[in-house]
Chain A
Amino acid sequence: MFKKVPLAWLQLTREKSRLLIALAGISFADILMFMQLGFRDSLFDASVLMHQQMEGDIFLVSPQSTALIAMKSFPERRLFQSLAVEGVESIAPVYIGLGLWRNPDERNTRSILVIGTDPVDRIFDFPGLEEEDYDRLKLEDTVLFDRNSRPEFGPVAEWFDAGRDVETEIDGRRIEVGGTFELGATFGADGNLIVSELNFLRIFAGRDRGLIDIGVVQLEPGTAVEPVLAAMRENLPDDVWYFSKEEFVNWEKNYWQSSTAIGFIFALGAGMGFVVGIVIVYQILYTDVADHLPEYATLKAMGYTDRYLLGVVFQEAIILAFVGYLPGLGICMVLYNMTAAATSLPVFMTVGRATTVFILTVVMCFVSGAVAVRKLSAADPADIF
């Protein structure tokens, strides 16, 4: 068909300004979808960054915990019991709490996620976290500060890098910043702190020693996780959940996806982009068919089949999808970088999302095409005389 006269292409490129508007519209719809899906994924990704960077194979949490920011503590005894299971090498307790951080510069306070850990366990693999940082954690009232926290916490990292002593308060207790690491803000927490177990209990005076929030279990090298996990679930008390790392990550993601409106909101946003795209492409294709109705009728008179003409409209839709997607993708990469810089969220293009949006674009153009071709039946070859 193309070797003779490429109808669809000619039809589309005939009106350059209209084609440009169409491409702008599709790009816009694509950007909308990309941004919404990007935000959603990055928010979900951010919320599990910590989970992913904890060095452990099995994680224990209370069944009453719902997410990192809503943890219910459980007896550390359970963690000790897991040592009895074959294959377990070591264990590490983690305390989680939300404290009020006073901005050392502007003196206002803001909620910050405080992670309590035994410095000798060294279970966190955050970038910028060095051996000596762990050593410094052992000092009384010394904390490590997440330099990817939101700027509202004050110029902590800058001051620290400049060699200044950074002293401030958490929940009214005087502390000093002894080091920094990189984690990033999430839905629940605008910033993060790491403290030693002891200091954690000092800051949160109401918390009891021995009631932990997460139990981290490390297995002997080369041990498969699943059998150990099964053994724990079988033999240990069932008043705690035993998660593999993947389950632990999904448990957190699942909370944000299903128990909050966040997933829905962003899916809705992406859906809006999709609908906007359908409307724009439909408009373009419909106008195109309507404007060329006499020509379509002439083609019908010349013996072109309806199917051939439908094919032409669908070809136009697919061409639009392809040509409109590429600028959308390019612009989005730039926007992602800008967003990542502005929000400390891990927004970046993934192959999966690029594919998803591309498929959505094709579907979008196809749906529009399918609606627009109904106009074709108005092209009656008997009317052109």
Chain B
Amino acid sequence: MDAIAIVEKLNYYYPEGKGERQVLFDINLSIFPGEVIILTGESGSGKTTLLTLIGCLRSMREGSLKIFGEELLNASEKKRMTLRRRIGYIFQHFNLFEFMTVGQNVQSSLVHEKMLPAQARQQTQDLLTAVGLGDRLNSYPRELSGGQKQRVAISRALVHEPKLILADEPTAALDSETGRDVVNLIRNLAKDKGSAVLIVTHDRRILDIADRIVRIEDGKLITAYREEMTLALPTIEDQYFKQLEGKYQTKDFDPGEIVIDEGDDADTFYVIVEGIFEAVKIVPDSPPKLLRQMHKNEYFGEIGLLTPGSKRTATVRVSEDAPGKAIAIDRETFASLVKDSELTYAAVSHQLRKRLTDPEMGENDPNV
């Protein structure tokens, strides 16, 4: 499957005083059709800059950025403008045209499409009906609630069926429930059409809709360990993340690679970021027995860690189909994490108990 956007070795600079300041360092990122990616990071980290670069709204400086297969480095303003017509934009403050009706707002995306006005109206009507605003076609944005406005904005961004949708803090101006509905809507509409979505957000409550989370820190793209951890262990509060700072590792695994071997010393805790991991029993003279498949934002390795000195109870390997990625935390850090946060301890213990009731595992681990 061809990527919709491929970012390679991208650097970007802002002018500052007489010189310039680098805001993006060696960014590499690919966006595939149908994928929902959340891009997160502190304010000022450069995430919005990256979004505007991918959105063809800024001219490139260094590196490579291909959108729909077109290279943007040294691309003309006209080329970027043409590419922009194939992208849908969703804004924090909706950016609806206040002087237009809801219908006209949505239709404004179709001006560049070669279609009859009647067809444009029909397409607009259909999409607004799909987002539950079919009866508000002739209302003005000021007559709508925040959630409704964002639905209109989403319709405007999607009506011309762009293959790439960029959303900047789409939930920031909405309450949590409305925000959820809105991102679900974006996700569902995008999945229907096979469009890729890149959402820039701070909002941790919507992280779970992402297929992938990436984080920018000081202009560098990193695995969003904090967000991934939050999804895996929702009870970890912000204060405990400070202990994690610098004490985790992101590990990449090849398809089929063994992560832990049964019988090894248990010293690491893993949170899955990408790929499918399998817990297996190696039975001599026969194919390994699959105990469990684990997906993104599940964790493993906790069994050996909660009881000091114990060995691994099963082998974990990456599925043969795709590479995997996981965040690895050492025993000490993990211990302090669960010690400090009672809720987390409870959650992990609960998970542990559940897994141990699995007959295959329990009977094979006399140490527990």
Candidates B51, B82, B104, B111; contact of A385 at CB < 8 Å: B51
A5 x B111 contact (CB < 8 A):
yes
CB distance from B164 to the nearest CB of A (A): 13
Report yes or no: B168 in contact with A10, Cβ–Cβ below 8 A: no
Q: A381 at the A/B interface (Cβ < 8 Å)? A: yes
Q: By the criterion CB–CB under 8 Å, are A5 and B85 in contact?
A: no
| In the assembled complex, B89 has its CB within 8 A of some CB on chain A | yes
Q: How far is the CB of A361 from chain B (nearest CB, A)?
A: 24
Contact digits for A1-40, partner B, Cβ 8 Å, 1 yes 0 no: 1011100001101100000000000000000000000000
Q: Does A235 contact B (CB under 8 A)?
A: no
Tell me if A303 and B98 are in contact (CB < 8 A). no
A4 contacts B107, C-beta separation under 8 Å: yes
A4 and B117 within 8 A (CB): yes
Number of A-B contacts (CB under 8 A): 67
Query: What separation, in Å, do the CA atoms of A302 and B108 have in the docked complex?
Result: 9
**Interface residue A301 (Cβ < 8 Å from any Cβ of B):** yes
Partner of A382, one of B57, B104, B107, B108: B57
Residues in A neighbouring B58, C-beta threshold 8 A: 382
Stretch touching chain B among A139-147, A154-162, A292-300, A319-327: A292-300
Q: A381 vs B52: C-alpha distance in the bound complex, in angstroms?
A: 9
Task: Name the residue of chain B whose CB is nearest to the CB of A3.
Answer: B117
Q: Are B111 and A384 in contact (CB under 8 A)?
A: no
Closest to B92 in A: A385
Contact in complex: B95, A298 (CB < 8 Å)? yes
- Chain B contributes a number of interface residues (CB within 8 A of A) equal to 30
Tell me the bound Cα distance from A381 to B55 in angstroms.
10
Q: Which residue of A14, A302, A304, A381 is within 8 Å of B98 (Cβ)?
A: A14
Which residues of A lie under 8 Å from residue B112 when comparing CB positions? 303-304
Interface size class of A (residues with CB under 8 A): 20 to 34
B111: A residues at CB distance < 8 A: 1, 4-5, 304
Residues from 102 to 141 in B contacting A, C-beta threshold 8 Å: 104, 107-112, 117, 120
A38-49 toward B: CB 8 Å interface, digit per residue (1/0)?
000000000000
Check if B117 sits within 8 Å of A294, measured CB to CB: no
Determine whether the beta carbon of B109 is less than 8 Å from that of A385.
Answer: no
- Select one of A294, A299, A305, A385 contacting B108, CB under 8 A: A299
Contacts of A3 in B (CB 8 A): 117
CA distance A335 to B68 in the complex (A): 65
Residue numbers in B under 8 Å from A381 (CB-CB): 52, 57, 84
- Cβ < 8 Å to A, chain B residues 315-362: none
Q: Judge whether B97 and A295 touch: CB under 8 Å.
A: yes
Q: How far is the CA of A36 from the CA of B55 in the complex (A)?
A: 55
- Give the distance to chain B from A212, nearest Cβ to Cβ, in Å: 72
Given contacts A298-B95, A303-B85, is CB(A385)–CB(B100) below 8 Å? no
Contact (Cβ within 8 A) A303 B100? no
Given contacts A382-B57, A385-B91, contact A301 B84 (CB under 8 A): yes
**Which residue of chain A lies nearest to B47 when distances are taken between CB atoms in the complex?**
A385
In the complex, are the beta carbons of B104 and A294 less than 8 A apart? no
Most chain B CB inside 10 Å of its own CB: which residue of A1, A11, A292, A382:
A382
Q: Taking A301-B55, A382-B52 as contacts, is the C-beta distance between A10 and B89 under 8 angstroms?
A: no
Least distance between B39 CB and chain A CB atoms (Å): 12
Query: A298: which B residues are within 8 A, CB to CB?
Result: 89, 91, 95, 97
Per-residue interface assignment for chain B, residues 231 to 245, with 1 indicating a CB less than 8 Å from any chain A CB and 0 otherwise: 000000000000000
A4, A14, A300, A384 pick with most chain B CB within 10 angstroms: A4
Q: Are the CB atoms of A10 and B104 closer together than 8 Å?
A: yes
Nearest A residue to B108 by beta-carbon distance? Answer: A5
**Chain B residue, CB-CB nearest to A303:** B85
Residues of B within 8 A of A11 (CB): 99
Per the 8 Å Cβ criterion, residues 212-267 of B in contact with A are none
CB distance from A4 to the nearest CB of B (A): 5
User: Given A4-B111, A5-B104, A385-B91, does the pair A10, B99 have CB atoms closer than 8 Å?
Assistant: yes
Q: 9 tightest CB-CB pairs across the interface, nearest first? A: A303-B85, A14-B99, A303-B84, A382-B57, A298-B95, A385-B168, A382-B52, A381-B57, A10-B99
Told that A3-B117, A301-B89, A385-B91 touch, could you supply 20 new A-B pairs with CB distance under 8 A?
A1-B111, A4-B107, A4-B108, A5-B107, A5-B111, A10-B99, A10-B100, A14-B98, A299-B108, A302-B85, A302-B89, A302-B109, A303-B85, A381-B52, A382-B58, A384-B91, A384-B95, A385-B51, A385-B55, A385-B168
21 CB contacts below 8 A, A to B, read A3-B117, A4-B108, A4-B117, A5-B100, A5-B104, A10-B99, A10-B104, A11-B99, A13-B99, A294-B95, A298-B89, A299-B108, A300-B81, A301-B89, A302-B108, A302-B109, A303-B81, A303-B85, A382-B58, A384-B91, A385-B57
Residues of B participating in the A interface, judged by any CB pair closer than 8 Å: 48, 51-52, 55, 57-58, 81-85, 89, 91-92, 95, 97-100, 104, 107-112, 117, 120, 168, 200
